[in-house]
Amino acid sequence: MQGSIPKRLTSCVNLELIDLSQNNFGGVIPSNIGNIERLRVLNLAKNKLTGSIPNEIFDASNVQILFLHSNTLTGTLPTEIGLLKAARQISLSHNSLKGTIPTELASMGSLTLLRLHQNRLFGTAPGIGHLRKEGTDSSYITDCGDPSFLLSRPLICDSCTICCNSLNQCQKNIEPVIPVEVTGYLIFATLVPLVLIGFIHIIYAAQKKGYLRMLDERNALSIYNEDSVYCLIFSNNYFAWIIYILTGAIQALMLGLFLKASDFHDTDTDWQYTMRCSASSLACDDESSRNWNGWFLFFTVTILFLGADFVDSILQMRKAVVQSNKRFLLSGLGLFFLTMLALYTSFLYNVALAASNTELIMNAVILLFINDLDEKLLNILESVAPTWIANRYIEIELNLSNNDDNQDEIERPPRFVSSRFAGIKSLTSWKEQGTSRRTSGLTMLGIIGSSVNISKHTSE
């Protein structure tokens, strides 16, 4: 049907439902529709209606459903909309309405659906908390997404369930109480480590009093990563400590950049808008194809990659409690923080960016590469300053051996059999040897077994 909506329609004062949707009606909305006191449903959606929304239609205070979406309505959204106290569903999306959203909507306690997206509304949307707490994902939708170049200024809506942007793309509105980057640093740098150390201390105290028996057979040399610059914290060189601190800070800052990009409301967010809230349906469709299979593979890859660092960090903190060793405490806290921050960042960034299972794995691999920078840096130091690195390993061996629980232990665990200096006659000729540092037959124990051997080795 086409033409304009006849004004004489409003003479039918007993009408309870008017549904003229999905036609080609043009012109303006008859203002005297508000005279129909029994009207409960007014559906004029998907037409070609123009002009502004007449204030008079809100005199029909018994209206429960008001659908005017998918027209070409202009003007502002009247504050008189607050007169519809019985309204349950209001949809005004896909028009050209401008201005701010009336605060009167916040007092409409019966609302279960409010769709205002794809308009030119700006400012701060009223908070309608019950829609976010009790409604569906698509119960409160506005143009609070990014980019918002079609708006004269951005629209802020904390209680919206879905935010759409100027590209007609939508996404669930995730509003953290604390910014995600602050949460990551706060939880994994302070709260969780302190709880772990307290728990370990309780277990150790119970063990000393005989209430609990837990043997610690792990040698100190087996619970740190000899392939990472983070082992330098156990040396005696101040420059090595500086390298340790700078590497940790760089990794934490790089992960912080990705955390910031995972914040839905950040100006530099990388969030992918995968939902479509079209004019043809009141439901929103999520076009993302990721599922539980993808998440399972993601966590499998991530845990396998970070698992050794996580276990070592726990063991180092335990060793710190047992031996009252400050270096093990610092090393364990730092390693735990970076490991858990990497896991947390990988998860949040995939929530924000990954739209498929393959993207889940791809993003995880990219982020886990940051966690490998400490090992790459050590490889550079081995190439640039082999003698300096060799001396640091001798210091590490001596320091950890002297502080071990079992001073009488003769053999080191298999993990440290990969001597970097095996088969080498002098430290200065270390790089010139073709023998693999990882698979040589001798152990470090054979090199530093006595001070005489060390002196002789160095002089040669």
What is the enclosing helix (H) or strand (E) of 140? strand 140-142
Residue with tokens 């060390």: 454
Is the distance from CB of 48 to CB of 24 less than 8 angstroms?
yes
pLDDT of residue 440: 36
- Whether residue 136 has pLDDT greater than 90: no
- Whether residue 303 has pLDDT greater than 80: yes
- Whether residue 458 has pLDDT greater than 50: no
Alpha-carbon gap, residue 234 to 397, rounded angstroms = 9
Per-residue pLDDT, averaged over 25-42, amounts to 92
- Whether residue 445 has pLDDT greater than 60: no
- The HSE-up count of residue 148 (CA atoms within 13 Å, CB side) is 21
pLDDT of residue 421: 41
- Whether residue 74 has pLDDT greater than 90: yes
Alpha-carbon gap, residue 64 to 308, rounded angstroms = 59
pLDDT of residue 125: 94
- Whether residue 439 has pLDDT greater than 60: no
In the numeric block, which tokens belong to residue 61?
């205070």
Per-residue pLDDT, averaged over 350-376, amounts to 91
Check the CA dihedral 434-439-440-444 and report its sign: positive
Alpha-carbon gap, residue 52 to 105, rounded angstroms = 18
pLDDT classification of 328: cutoffs 50, 70, 90:
confident
pLDDT in tens, 198-227: 777 776 676 666 655 555 556 777 888 888
Is the distance from CB of 371 to CB of 338 less than 8 angstroms?
yes
Report domain extents, the chain.
Answer: 2-172, 180-271+288-378, 385-459
Per-residue pLDDT, averaged over 339-351, amounts to 90
- Whether residue 180 has pLDDT greater than 80: no
pLDDT of residue 209: 67
Answer with the residue of higher pLDDT: 319 or 375: 375
Per-residue pLDDT, averaged over 354-383, amounts to 91
99: left (phi over 0), alpha (psi -120 to 50) or beta: left
pLDDT classification of 416: cutoffs 50, 70, 90:
very low
CB atoms within 10 A of CB 407: 8
Alpha-carbon gap, residue 94 to 47, rounded angstroms = 11
Q: Which residues of 143-159 are buried (b: 16+ CB within 10 A; e: fewer)?
A: bbbbebeebeebbebeb
Among residues of the chain, what percentage have pLDDT more than 70? Answer: 80
pLDDT of residue 457: 41
pLDDT of residue 10: 83
* 3-class state of residue 110 by DSSP: coil
Q: Report which of 216, 183, 210, 139 is spatially closest to residue 348, judged by C-alpha positions.
A: 183
What is the enclosing helix (H) or strand (E) of 24? strand 24-26
> Rounded mean pLDDT of the chain?
81
Q: According to DSSP H, which parts of 215-289 are helical? A: 238-261
- Whether residue 299 has pLDDT greater than 80: yes
- Whether residue 277 has pLDDT greater than 60: yes
pLDDT in tens, 42-56: 999 999 999 999 999
Alpha-carbon gap, residue 290 to 351, rounded angstroms = 10
User: Measured between alpha carbons, how far apart are the two ends of the chain, in Å?
Assistant: 101
Alpha-carbon gap, residue 283 to 144, rounded angstroms = 18
- Whether residue 422 has pLDDT greater than 80: no
Q: Which residues of 270-308 are buried (b: 16+ CB within 10 A; e: fewer)?
A: ebbbbbebebeebebeeeeebeeebbeebeebbeebbee
Per-residue pLDDT, averaged over 120-138, amounts to 83
Kindly tell me the burial class for residue 166, based on how many C-beta atoms sit within 10 Å of its own C-beta (0-12, 13-18, 19 or more). middle
Check the CA dihedral 45-49-55-60 and report its sign: negative
Q: What class does CATH assign to 2-172?
A: alpha beta
Check the CA dihedral 448-453-457-459 and report its sign: positive
Q: Which of 51-65, 133-147, 274-288 has the highest mean pLDDT?
A: 51-65
pLDDT in tens, 94-117: 999 999 999 999 999 899 999 999
pLDDT in tens, 376-409: 999 999 999 999 999 999 999 888 887 654 444 4
pTM of the model: 0.74
pLDDT of residue 256: 87
pLDDT of residue 427: 40
pLDDT classification of 295: cutoffs 50, 70, 90:
very high
pLDDT of residue 322: 78
pLDDT of residue 430: 38
Per-residue pLDDT, averaged over 248-277, amounts to 87
Kindly tell me the burial class for residue 238, based on how many C-beta atoms sit within 10 Å of its own C-beta (0-12, 13-18, 19 or more). exposed
